[in-house]
Amino acid sequence: MIFWRVKPLNQILETAEKKSLKRQLGPIQLTLLGIGAVIGTGIFVLTAEAAQKAGPAMMVSFLIAAVVCGLAAFAYAELAAMLPVSGSAYTYTYGVMGELIAWIVGWALVLEYAIGATAVCVGWSGYMNGLLMHTDFFGLVQPGALALPEYLRTGYYSGGGFNLLAFLIGAAVTWLLVIGTSKSARVNAVLVAIKIIALTVFVALAVPAAKSGNLEPFLPGGWGSPMGGAGVLGAAASIFFAYVGFDAVSTAAEETKNPNRNIPIGLIASLLICTVFYLLVGYGAAGSIGAQPMLGANGLPLDPGTPEMAAACVGSNALVCSNEPLAHVMRVLGFEQIGNWIGVAAIIALPSVILMMMFGQTRIFFTMSRDGLLPEKLSNVHPRFFTPHVITYITGIVVSICAALFPVGKLADTSNAGTLLAFAMVSVGVLILRKKQPDRPRPFRTPMAWIVCPLAVAGCVLLFANLSVIAKVVFVLWGAIGLVVYRLYGYHRSQLAGSGH
């Protein structure tokens, strides 16, 4: 039986109180944390990939991904208000479906947070290396004078050696997380403001320039393919990464003042704000300069990131060929300097996404350690900064080294696989608790739960089916490794090991 060693909700709350984190975050900080985690690599980088898969219909892809996230957000809000502790989907699953399912979810969340943070580190380094190579810094130096040697610009598995800037940004964010949550939240608020300003300027200039002719044909890639990875649904599965992170708000529940009220506010407000921006940005990009994909000999869009796609983009000025799509749109429209500044804004702001993804990862492992499924030393709290410094250092080292060696590649899709599993399990958990504990206080109730939650699960399954084959294979292999680790360590060391089956 898989539903075993279910940890009573009251016991979860008692465990958290024994080794707890300081409550210091309010609703505005939580909303900004959510926006900081969401707006980043997805909209600044993956817009071009979405256009290559779906053409102008990428706006529909953004909407599909937003709806799935929105449905799951209601489920997250209900459970986070009932269980205002660290651990997010892992903790909720432990209290509803038992230890084995909780372990699988917690292990899968490594794909969401750690791989996601690694991907953003690599994306940030690409922007920064480009800045060092092409700007004169207001005439202070010759263009390219500050550029790093090619060996240090890309990772070993990208044809280079050691991606120094990706490593350094990972290390810097690790240090920031160790010195304190409130400090990192204040820094994050500044970075969020920069991103909002950059996207607002883009929307203000691109949307008025939109022409209906640029949106035709609207569906050049169709709705999708049986193998996944293409069309509107394939684009939705990829740019789901653009919304990943709003659930990191729930991982901060234990550090939140009045979590019953503030967690739902932070979750839903951050998602709504980001969705509005994404739809406007997608319309502005596609409508102003066009977003038609590069087609192969079979008349279908080429797969992004392949040699065929790279060859088709040689000498092309198309949106789908740009590594910095929003800055590219501005330059094509004649706003050269504004395009450059949007690129700078991305460089400044992307670290906030790394920060929130690593924040989420450390809090998941902190809670798993507190439950005995991982070594207890991982949940040690720093005596001065009140942060889980041991697991933060370990996570930071792994993320930094992986970012220094590996390419972005299909990392976004792989990250999405873990997220979709977590979202589905949280939605199922809400329904199980409604049946098992109908009288338990629910400060926030998912509206029409028996419609919303099944739709959330169906949406997660639909997007998972449309992920790339590589992402699905990595997900299965990672899950298999996790089951081995659980059987060899967590199964015997768990706090509930003596409670029976």
Query: In this model, does residue 7 exceed pLDDT 60?
Result: yes
Is the pLDDT confidence value at 148 over 70? Answer: yes
* Highest-pLDDT range among 126-140, 176-190, 468-482: 468-482
> Residue 426 corresponds to which tokens in the numbers above?
């949280």
According to the model, what pLDDT value does residue 306 have?
66
At 451, is the pLDDT very low, low, confident or very high (cuts 50, 70, 90)?
A: very high
**DSSP classification of residue 160:** S
Across 131-145, 220-234, 251-265, which has the greatest mean pLDDT? 220-234
Q: At what angle do helices 259-289 and 325-332 cross, to 10 degrees?
A: 40
More confident call, 28 vs 178: 178
Tens digit of each residue's pLDDT (9 = 90 or more) over 432-443: 888 888 887 777
How confident is the model over 302-318, as a mean pLDDT? 73
Angle at 165 between CA 163 and CA 171, to 5 degrees: 105
Say how far apart CA 344 and CA 269 lie, in whole Å: 26
Name, in order, each residue with C-beta under 8 angstroms of 169's C-beta and a sequence gap of 6 or more. 121, 124, 125, 128, 351, 354, 403
User: How would DSSP label each residue in 381-417?
Assistant: --TTT-S-HHHHHHHHHHHHHHHHH---TTHHHHHHH
SS3 202: helix
Question: Which residues, listed in sequence order, are joined to residue 155 by a DSSP beta bridge?
Answer: 161
387 in Cβ contact with 381 (< 8 Å) = yes
pLDDT for res 501: 44
pLDDT tens profile 154-169: 777 666 788 899 999 9
pLDDT confidence tier of residue 305, bands split at 50, 70 and 90: low
Grouping H, G, I as helix, E, B as strand and the rest as coil, residue 104 is helix
For residue 34, the model assigns a pLDDT of 76
Read off the pLDDT of residues 175-206 as tens digits, 9 standing for 90 and up. Answer: 988 887 555 557 767 777 888 888 899 999 99
Q: pLDDT tens-digit profile of 345-360?
A: 888 878 877 887 888 7
Task: Name the percent of the chain lying above pLDDT 70.
Answer: 83
- The domain segmentation of the chain, as residue ranges, is 14-493
Domain at 14-493: CATH code:
1.20.1740.10
For residue 313, the model assigns a pLDDT of 74
In DSSP notation, 318-369 reads: -GGG-SSHHHHHHHHTT-HHHHHHHHHHHHHHHHHHHHHHHHHHHHHHHHHH
Closest to 126 in 3D by CA, of 164, 172, 159, 173: 164
pLDDT at 500: 47
Higher-scoring residue by pLDDT: 219, 246: 219
Q: If pLDDT is split at 50, 70 and 90, which confidence band does 402 have?
A: confident
